[in-house]
Structure 1
C-alpha cells in the first residue's frame, strides 16, 4: 500500500500541475488542487489515514533533502546574492519580524492555545524547518506544517 500511496500522490500532483499550467487559474495551484484531490480520493476509496501514513512519512522525510538541494540554485546565483546582500538581508529581517509579530499577536488576541501560537509562528518557512522549530519550541509539528502549507498555498494563489 505504501508504494501505491506514493505513486498516487505523485501522479495526482503532476496531473494537478498540468491542469494549473493549462488553465492558469490561481485557485487551481498544484498544491491546493492535489491536496483536495487526495483528500477526496482517500475519503471515497476507503483508504484510511493509517494506510496512507507510511507513504506520507517517506514523502515528509524527503522534504529535508529536497530543501537542502535548493543550495544548488543559491550557489549558481551566488554573485547576484553577494551584490544584493544588504537589501536581501534587510528584507529578510523586516519580513521575519513582521510575520512573526502579526502571526503571534493575532493568535494571542484571539486567545488561541499556546501550542497553536507557537506553531503558527513558523508559517512562513519551509515545512522541514517548521517541523524542527515546532519540536524545539513546544509547538505541534502537524499544525506548523498545516500553517506552512496554507500560507504557501495562499501566497501562490495571490502571486500566481
Structure 2
C-alpha cells in the first residue's frame, strides 16, 4: 500500500501540470507578498526563484525535468515580450520627441555596458567562452541565449547571468536613479530597460506608463542592436 502511494505521489509530482501549477502558484504568492510590502527584496521574481529552488529540492526533482515540464510557460516569454509594444504605441508621440536622446543613450549605454563587462571579466582571467557568455548579459533571455551560443559561449550560463543582471537592476536601479537625481520618467525608463531588460521594464511600468514605454523601447532596441552588431565586432576582433 505504501509502495503504491509513493508511486502515485511520484507520478503526480513529475506530471507537467503539477509543476506548471506549482510555478504559477508560487509566483502569485510572491506577487501578493510584493504588493503588500512593496519591498524590493521581495520582488516576485526573487521570491519565485528562492521558493522554486526549495520546492524542487524537497521534491527531489532535477532541473531538466522541471524545464521540460514548464516548457509551455517558457514559450509564452516571446509573446509577453512582444506585448510590451502596447505601452510603446500609447506613448509613440513622446518617443518621437526624444528620438535623438534615445539613440544617443542606446549607443553610449550599450557600448559602455558591453565593454566594461568584457574588460572586467578579462582582467579577472575569464577565458574566451566565458567572455562570450557574459557579453549579452544585458539582453532579454531568448536573445541573450541565441547570441551567446552563436559567439561560442554557453547559452544556459548566459540565461543565468541575464537573470542575475535583471534582479540586481530591478533592486538597485530605482534607488540609484533617485540618489543621482534622475526623476524624468523617460530617463528612468530608458535606464531600467537598458540595464535590466524585461524585469527592469516591469519595474519601470510600476512607476508609470511613460517610464514603462521607454524601458520597453530601450530593451527592444538594445536587443536588436546587440544581436546584429556584437557578432560582427567579435569577428573583427578575432581577425585583428
Mapping for residues 1-160 of structure 1, pairs under 5 Å: 1-158=15-172, 159=174
Q: Which sits farther off after the overlay, 50-59 or 3-12? A: 50-59
Cα distance in 1 for residues equivalent to 2:89 and 2:155: 30
Q: CA deviation at 1:26?
A: 1.7
Larger Rg: 2
Cα distance in 2 for residues equivalent to 1:108 and 1:13: 37
TM-score, length-normalised on structure 2? 0.63
Structure 1 consecutive aligned stretches of length 4 or more whose deviation exceeds 3 Å: none
TM-score, length-normalised on structure 1? 0.92
Cα distance in 2 for residues equivalent to 1:4 and 1:46: 14
* Structure 1 gap ranges (5+): none
Q: CA deviation at 1:110?
A: 0.8
Cα distance in 1 for residues equivalent to 2:153 and 2:73: 21
Q: CA deviation at 1:39?
A: 0.2
> For the aligned residues, what is the CA RMSD?
1.4
* Structure 2 gap ranges (5+): 1-14, 176-240
Cα distance in 2 for residues equivalent to 1:59 and 1:111: 37
Q: CA deviation at 1:55?
A: 2.6
More RCO (CA 8 Å, sep 6+): 1
